[in-house]
Amino acid sequence: MIEPLRLSFVVRCSPDHAFDTWTDRASSWWPPEHTVSHERGARIVFEPRPGGRIFERTATGTEIEWGQIVEWDRPRRLRYLWHIATDPSNATDVEIVFREMPDARTRVEIEHGGWDRLAELGQSWRDTNRAGWDGVLPPYRQDAELRS
């Protein structure tokens, strides 16, 4: 069994704000080098419902699918299938929990798993995604705290 990636950190904002920064304002912080198009100004869209799509929309209107929402429980929990830069049949599972803490802070807990279904590619895809999280989480944290 390939262990899920588990990440946890605290942001100085409410769970509502942390959730909305992740979903409604992803375009303001998601680094272009972590998109498929690598295009500055690409719009990142989370359709706010189970079954909703996650995708990027380029300046020319091209939509590139990244995943699909499984659970949308604002502001507590978000789950989705993630297949950025791969076939949807290779989707992995992402769960993000936003836990309210004292002093208007939120603990963000991420579990990213499902690597076993990728067979021999699972471990290398897990490692690639670990680097991806390392690239997107710092700008997310900064944006959540700056705009709170």
What is the per-residue pLDDT across 19-54, written as a single tens digit (0 to 9) for each?
Answer: 999 999 999 999 999 999 999 999 999 999 999 999
Residue 148 is predicted with a pLDDT of: 62
* Separation between Cα atoms, residue 37 and residue 50, nearest integer Å: 25
Whole-model pTM over 0.85 = yes
Residue 37 is predicted with a pLDDT of: 96
Residue 11 structural domain: 5-21+66-146
Tell me, yes or no, whether 33 lies in a domain.
no
The residue-averaged pLDDT of 73-89 equals 95
Please count the structural domains in the chain.
1
* Separation between Cα atoms, residue 130 and residue 59, nearest integer Å: 28
Tell me, yes or no, whether 87 lies in a domain.
yes
* Separation between Cα atoms, residue 100 and residue 137, nearest integer Å: 19
Q: What is the mean pLDDT of the chain?
A: 96
Tell me, yes or no, whether 113 lies in a domain.
yes
* Separation between Cα atoms, residue 50 and residue 70, nearest integer Å: 5
Tell me, yes or no, whether 53 lies in a domain.
no
- 74: domain CATH number? 3.30.530.20
Tell me, yes or no, whether 31 lies in a domain.
no
Tell me, yes or no, whether 43 lies in a domain.
no
Query: Is 80 exceeded by the pLDDT of residue 147?
Result: no
Tell me, yes or no, whether 46 lies in a domain.
no
* Separation between Cα atoms, residue 116 and residue 113, nearest integer Å: 8
Tell me, yes or no, whether 36 lies in a domain.
no
